[in-house]
Amino acid sequence: MRNDDRATGFEDMLAEEEKLGELNYEVPPIKDVCAQDLVAEAFKELKERQESQPEYKRVAAIAQKWVINKLATGANSRRP
């Protein structure tokens, strides 16, 4: 899991939904509808601001705990 505020994992999620027959509409490629380059630029700018550091560190610690817990429990999918 990356802590970069990007919309990551959409392609995998959509492929899983389609495989399960739960995707009943055409979805355009994520790269065509999400401005990931703008998100990356904005995230970099916010991360570099001193006033953002405490919140970034707090969220990064929470994300790290979530990843460790997910790995420890073997939860590889959002479905049972």
pTM above 0.85, yes or no: no
CA 49/CA 79 separation, integer angstroms: 38
- Comparing 31 with 6, the larger pLDDT belongs to 31
73: tokens are 């429990």
Question: What value does the mean pLDDT take over residues 36-42?
Answer: 84
Q: Which among 31, 58, 41 has a CA at the least distance from the CA of 5?
A: 41
Q: Is residue 3 part of a domain?
A: no
Q: Given this model, what pLDDT does residue 5 score?
A: 61
What's the domain range around 61? Answer: 10-73
Q: Is residue 64 part of a domain?
A: yes
Number of compact structural domains in the chain: 1
Q: Is residue 2 part of a domain?
A: no
Cβ neighbours of residue 8 under 8 Å, at least 6 residues apart?
A: 2
- Is 38 a residue whose pLDDT tops 80? yes
Residues 35 and 41: beta-carbon distance below 8 Å: no
